[in-house]
Structure 1
């Protein structure tokens, strides 16, 4: 399995993903600064504590990289079926289940790591900027940051599971468009909010979506031997 993962990493050359993640982090940091500045200027104080900032950043980061995960699914799985290059892989003396499992494991782990790191980078960057150019009237200590990192870890795991949901829609007709579109639907459901209630930190929903994603992945792996790839 480890060798298959190494081959997948080498085959798809994820430099584009890393560059995209870096650009996304920069954009999210700038966007956070703008949102907080506008809110403070207009006295629309919906965000009054540092925890609120972490919630907003967490939702933004997870939503962004769930869509990134859908792009990975499209490139690593759906396009392989569409172009029939998956047949070459299946001709190797290796279990089909291991081949698909290695692809999905790469996607889930990359999504988890990217979400976790991006949360820390965007939040850290925001509060460092706030130290020199005050945007919000509160700061965060190292201890408070580490406490929030535990929440980041939990939600990153949940998002990594939920990021596999688009696999189901993409595999139905091997559609890249359906894969990407379904990730946007997942994001819309998981991160919707209003003045009364927010789904961003609603743990039962986040765990439920993660469980659905894991079941979809398990089903794809279990049924791969019977699936027609032509």
Structure 2
């Protein structure tokens, strides 16, 4: 499987994704600074360090879930639309393994980008706060560690959830459907009602992550038995 993933990496031109990830990280960091600047006149911009870092993580996850849908569209959906997947299926490898390699590459790129982007933005927030004090109190090591673990679990869950659009995209081999479904997932997962969101509890993201993997698997479970439409 690792060999198939490496082959897929060589095949795909990923410079656009890396550039996009850098730009997204800069924009997220700028947005967080804008919040601190516009709301920091009287009351603190953020209630606590947990609040600030959680918002940063939420922004990163939302952006890269949509990025993941674009990856899945390029890796899989477009190959079905252009019929180039037929050539790929002539290789002496199970179709399911070929699709899984593409899916796992998208998962790895999404998780890596989310994790690195979240880390950079959180470090930037802590560094800026040391000079401008837009977050009340002092960052305590145990609080930062606990928040970091939460963000890691939520990031892994979001990366798994980002595979769900593949299920909808594969039904009609539609790129717009894949991307629109990712936006809907972002809205549902990021929805916050009276301070409670689907990402508040660690257990919920873990369950959602497993559900995401299962739904993604359902999208290609019969690929070995069906003809390329």
Residue 10 of structure 2 aligns with which residue? Answer: 10
Residue 78 of structure 2 aligns with which residue? Answer: 79
CA distance, structure 2, for counterparts of residue 89 and residue 42 of structure 1: 60
Trace 1:1-230 onto structure 2 (pairs within 5 A): 1-41=1-41, 43=43, 47-140=46-139, 144-203=143-202, 205-230=204-229
Q: CA RMSD in A?
A: 1.9
Indicate the SS of the match to 1:41.
Answer: coil
Any unmatched runs of 5+ in structure 1? none
CA distance, structure 2, for counterparts of residue 105 and residue 154 of structure 1: 18
Q: CA deviation at 1:227?
A: 2.3
The total of aligned residue pairs comes to 229
Q: Which moved more, 1:113-122 or 1:67-76?
A: 113-122
Assess, with a 3 A threshold, how the Cα gap between structure 1 residues 144 and 205 changes in structure 2: closer, same or farther: closer
Are the counterparts in 2 of residues 192 and 200 from structure 1 also a CA contact under 8 Å? Answer: no
The superposition leaves residues 3-47 of structure 1 with CA deviations (integer Å, 9 ceiling, x where unpaired) of 21111101112111111111111100010011122222253x583
Any unmatched runs of 5+ in structure 2? none
CA distance, structure 2, for counterparts of residue 60 and residue 25 of structure 1: 10
TM-score calculated relative to the size of structure 1: 0.91
CA distance, structure 1, for counterparts of residue 34 and residue 87 of structure 2: 49
Assess, with a 3 A threshold, how the Cα gap between structure 1 residues 141 and 205 changes in structure 2: closer, same or farther: closer
CA distance, structure 2, for counterparts of residue 126 and residue 4 of structure 1: 39
